Every structure is written in C-alpha cells, then in structure tokens.
Amino acid sequence: MADWEGAFRGLVAARGGALRGYALLLTGDPVAAGDLVQEALTRVFGRRRVGEDIDELEAYVRRAMLNQYVDSRRRLKRWHAKRHLLIDLPHHDDDRIVVADEVRRALATLSPKQRACVVLRYYEDLSVAEVADELGCAEGTVKRHLADARAKLAVQLAVNEESAR
C-alpha cells in the first residue's frame, strides 16, 4: 500500500465523522455534505504528498471544503441570475428541502459568507482574526457578517440576542 493510501485511510478513520459533521453544518443537506467531503478529499489527496500528520491533512481538507462550499454557492447564485437568458427551465427550488432541525433551517437563510463565518466562529471556535485569515478578508468584514447573521438567526429562532450573549 502506498504511503498516501495509509494517510488517506488514517484520516478518514480518525476524522471522517468530524469532517462529515463540518460539511453538514456548511451545506445543511446530508447528500451535499457527503459530496463536499468527497470532493475535498479528492482535491487534497490529488495534490498533497505524504509526510503531513493527520491534523495537517484535516486542516487541508477543511479548507478545501470551505473553499468549495463558498465557490459553489457563488456559482449557483450567478447561474440562477442568468439561466433565464438561456432557456425557460422549470423552476426547481432546492431550498425547499424540509430539514427537521430548526437550527439548520435558520442557517440556510444566511448568505454563504455569513454561514461560513458562523460555522468557523461558533462551531470551529476560531477567533475573529482566525476566521478572517481563513476566509481571506478583513476582521471588520467578519464582524459585520457575524453581526448580521446573529441578528437574522435571532429572528429565525425567536431568540432575544441580548440574552443569548
């Protein structure tokens, strides 16, 4: 067995569940989450060489997942804005998938950047500076996304934001 195969198997065995959970928080859809994990693993192990430990490999995979999620949402938004120019397709609203978890439904109402900020800040427990570094933007931008997301989530979840702090 090649060294990269061992690294791959070790990562999936040790961190596969955590990676799927992270992807599910980002996407809100179990099928899309599985696809996101698979795509990220393919990208990382298609380019990376062995020698990194599991923590480093997991960090690469999580970063690939975050980039893929944000990019796919951006592309989907552009497609929805322009598809009417090409042909008249029947309307399929993927956002109507019923999700039992109230928090996931509320997360789905956020923009991709807001959702990424919320997941990185509150799920990954990164500081604002670390979130800004992960997303390649200014700390003020992260703070604005978090404030907007908290306000929207407070309304969606019927939570008084002052008491939630």
CATH code of residue 120: 1.10.10.10
Q: Does one domain contain both 134 and 66?
A: no
DSSP three-state, residue 50: strand
The residue segments making up the domain with residue 6 are 1-97
Q: Does one domain contain both 54 and 8?
A: yes
Last residue of a domain, one of 97, 130, 145: 97
Residue pLDDT, tens place only, 4-52: 788 888 889 999 999 999 999 999 999 999 999 999 998 888 875 556 7
pLDDT at residue 76 above 90? no
How far, in whole angstroms, is CA 138 from its chain's centroid? 19
Domains: count for the chain:
2
Cβ neighbours for 22, distance < 8 A, ≥ 6 positions apart: 62, 65, 119, 123, 124
Q: Does one domain contain both 67 and 111?
A: no
Residue pLDDT, tens place only, 92-130: 444 334 333 677 888 889 999 999 999 899 888 899 999
Distance CA 91, CA 83 (A): 11
What confidence score (pLDDT) does residue 105 get?
Answer: 81
How far, in whole angstroms, is CA 107 from its chain's centroid? 11
Q: Does one domain contain both 7 and 85?
A: yes
